[in-house]
Chains A and B, each alone.
Chain A
Amino acid sequence: MSYFKSIFFATLFLVFSWFGNSYATNINGAGSTFAYPVYTKWAYEYEKATGNKVNYQGVGSGAGIQQVSQGVVAFGGTDMCLSEQELNKKNLLQFPSLVGGIVLVVNIPGLKDNQLKLSNAVVPKIFMGEIKYWNDPQIEKDNPGLRLPHIPITVVHRADGSGTNWNVTYWLSQISKAWNEKVHYGLSVNWPVGVGGKGNMGVSNYVKQIKGSIGYVEYAFWLQNHLTSVELQNKAGKWVIPSIAAFKEAAAKAQWAPQNGFCQSLAYQPGVNTWPIVSGTFVLIPKKPTLPHKEAAEFFKWGFAHGDKAAESLGYIPLPKNTKDKIIKYLNENKL
């Protein structure tokens, strides 16, 4: 009998030691795929520095908002900021963590990066299916000297609800009245034409495969996947090419304020050197000063202090110093 007893207690001990609570804290976050590489890189460095583990997973902005509202994760990530009312309703704090650019990419044989110029008048027409071929006079007008082939345009858009979608459709709504009325903007919209790809990777793959296609991806995906980018027009009417410097211009123009949870879109900001499709990515933390939420705030404070280099190496733009200071003050005021 005592033999069985000792086996029983040994098993019990094993099972309980399997349940985890060692000295270091372990928290989970979920949301924006856009921010996933940076948060993960920060997390590895943060673990080395403090021993605490932050496990972030890119499940998409929509799922991130839902999971942090249900209290399943310590913090959520979203590329579309929530309004003040929503934040109050869900009892969440919100602040930006990084800025990134979104790039229009095309697959036209023989074309190199930033050779093609697409004006604010042309882009919405392409995405609405009104311009059907690449050698359309409206496109050729802005590109004298560039020989464009007579191949049909295929629009590639995101099939899933995403923050990238929100930012691109918001930008399209800003530059085109017709787009704003017919399609409007959101995490997912009714695209008038085109094929849908799942995630940035799905869009990248379709653009690579389909001759004559046009799509949009986050800067990091453009950097890694050897896609052809195009020149766009900004709010000032100037032609700009996608670059870290042009994204930084947009970040510097942001009027972020803690009153509404720093909610502001960075798309279509003024300035002669500003890239038109720039997006902030936001963090949501429940307004309860308990351990996992405090630890989440600690992680981002650490990232603001030590994470700029890591973010830049992956093609993201760190926040300006004064914005970071505002955020840290905002977190301290809320006891996080």
Chain B
Amino acid sequence: MRKRKIKNYIGLSISTISAFIGLFFLFWIIVSLIEKGFHYINWSVFTQNAVSPGDEGGGLKFAIFGQLEVVGLASLLGIPTGILGGIYLSEYGKDSFLSNIIRNVSDAMTSIPSIIIGIFVYALVVVPMGGFSVIAGSIALALLMIPIVISSIDNILKLVPNELREAAYALGAPKYIVIFKVVAKEAIVGIVSVILLAISRILGETAPLLFTSFNSNFESYKLNKPIATLTVTMYDYAMGPYDSWHHLAWAAAIILTFSVLLFNIASRLFSYWRFSR
């Protein structure tokens, strides 16, 4: 009896310590970011564009809006595709041979390093199009999103009790009505958090954008031209020789970290809000 208790204590303390190690580093990153970068956040960061190298000042407006455009377009491409794919797997394909193949492939795709996706899109979109573009960057990010959304939606829809579907069928509802009015409605909390988490997953990506949406020194939002994004701009500025660039890189790091954090918290809050009703 004593032996078991000791084992229990050891196991418990190890897992508690591990949890604290994880939290400790998250906390450390956030605190050191705020400590080193917060005083570089000011109004001009959000309202001004890049200035000539070596000159003081300038801001990140062009990169913030660029990031929004690329991520927004990627979400438009990736989320509907992923949700429809997830619906297929859980409602139509179920345990068929094809859907198991799709499941395995999409699980494998979630672990592909994002730089590989970037190179893939470079070869498949950028080279044939003859140039870097917003579209290429969005496709790369969408490819990162789709497998995540597919498998999460698949799992969430499976959690919806089968009795609900049967009840709807018994009332004479066709399958698409069952899926959209019954199954999706029941799983809406999960679906929304999947969407928010998928967006926050791609929000911080640099590697797939380096050779797809490239970067731009000018404010430009054209779909067939390169565009500046916060992540790539941060990477470039952090590696550059000028102090003013390093300050902007800190500001970009803070903006990125807090927007990712915000998306995560939003998805939590949403589910709490739904469940408490």
- From B210, B214, B220, residue with most partner A Cβ within 10 Å: B214
Which of B53, B221, B226 touches A18 (beta carbons < 8 Å)? B221
CB-CB contacts of A276-300 with B at 8 A, as 1s and 0s? Answer: 0000000000000000000000000
Q: Is B243 an interface residue (CB 8 A)?
A: yes
B residues less than 8 Å from A57 (CB atoms):
214-215, 217, 226, 236
Chain B positions within 8 Å of A41 at CB level: 52-54
* Bound-complex Cα distance A59 to B215 (A): 10
* B222 surroundings in chain A (CB, below 8 A): 18-20
Complex contact A37–B53 (CB within 8 A): yes
| Bound-state Cα–Cα, A33 to B52, Å | 15
Number of interface residues of B (CB under 8 A): 29
Residue of B nearest to A219 (CB): B241
Taking CB atoms, residues of chain B closer than 8 Å to A58 are 236
Tell whether, in the assembled complex, residue A28 and residue B214 are in contact, meaning their CB atoms are under 8 Å apart: yes
Closest to B135 in A: A19
8 A Cβ contacts from A51-96 to B: 53, 55-59, 70-73
List which B212-238 residues lie within 8 A (CB) of chain A.
214-218, 220-226, 236, 238
**B53 near A40 (CB under 8 angstroms)?**
yes
Are A201 and B221 within 8 A (Cβ)?
no
B132 beta carbon closer than 8 Å to chain A:
yes
**Inter-subunit contact B242/A26 (CB<8 Å):** no
CB nearest neighbor in B for A225 = B241
Which B residue sits closest to A200, measured CB to CB?
Answer: B241
- Assembly CA distance A323 to B52 (angstroms): 27
Which B35-58 residues have C-beta < 8 A from chain A?
A: 51-54
Known: A28-B131, A72-B130. A53 touches B53 (CB 8 A): no
B217 x A26 contact (CB < 8 A): no
State whether the Cβ of B113 lies closer than 8 Å to any Cβ in chain A: no
CB proximity of A77 to chain B, nearest CB, Å: 14
Q: Which of A5-33 contact B (CB under 8 A)?
A: 15, 18-20, 26, 28, 30, 33
**Which one of B52, B131, B217, B224 contacts A19 once the chains associate, using CB atoms below 8 Å?**
B224
Other-chain residue from A37, A55, A56, A59 in contact with B241 (beta carbon distance below 8 A): A37
Q: Please report which residues of chain B, range 171-229, place their CB below 8 angstroms from some CB of chain A when the two chains form the complex.
A: 210, 214-218, 220-226
Interface centre among B130, B214, B217, B226 (most CB of A within 10 A): B217
CA distance A209 to B216 in the complex (A): 32
B4 to chain A, nearest CB (A): 49
Enumerate A177-212 residues with CB–CB distance to B below 8 Å.
198-202
- Contacts of A56 on B, CB cut-off 8 Å? 217
Contact A43 B239 (CB under 8 A): no
The total of interchain contacts (Cβ-Cβ below 8 angstroms) comes to: 87
A20-B222, A40-B217 known; A224+B53 contact, CB < 8 A: no
Interface residue total, chain A, C-beta cutoff 8 A: 41
Q: Counting CB contacts under 8 A, is B265 at the interface?
A: no
Assess whether A71 is in contact with B130, with CB atoms less than 8 Å apart. yes
Contact B223–A19 (Cβ < 8 Å): yes
Q: How far is the CB of A105 from chain B (nearest CB, A)?
A: 13
Given contacts A18-B223, A53-B218, contact A314 B240 (CB under 8 A): no
CB distance from A136 to the nearest CB of B (A): 32
Interface check B127, CB cutoff 8 A: yes
A224 and B242: CB pair below 8 A?
yes
- Report chain A residues within 8 Å CB of B52: 40-41, 44-45, 310
> What CA separation (Å) do A218 and B224 show in the bound complex?
35
The answer to the question of A259 belonging to the interface, with a C-beta cut-off of 8 Å to chain B, is no
Within 8 A of A (CB), among B115-151: 126-127, 130-132
The CA-CA distance from A47 to B223 in the complex, in Å, is: 21
- Does the CB pair A201–B238 fall under 8 Å? yes
CB atoms of B239 and A198 under 8 A apart: yes
CA distance A43 to B215 in the complex (A): 14
Over the window 101-116 of chain A, the binary record of Cβ atoms lying under 8 Å from chain B Cβ atoms (1 yes, 0 no) is 0000000000000000
A-B residue pairs in contact (CB < 8 Å), sample of 16: A18-B222, A18-B223, A20-B222, A28-B131, A28-B132, A37-B241, A37-B242, A40-B52, A40-B217, A44-B51, A44-B52, A55-B217, A55-B220, A56-B217, A57-B226, A225-B241
- Known pairs A26-B225, A57-B236; list 6 more (Cβ under 8 Å): A28-B131, A30-B214, A55-B217, A56-B217, A57-B217, A72-B126
Taking Cβ atoms with an 8 Å cutoff, the residues of A that contact B are 15, 18-20, 26, 28, 30, 33, 36-38, 40-41, 43-45, 47, 53, 55-59, 70-73, 198-202, 218, 220-221, 223-225, 310, 313-314
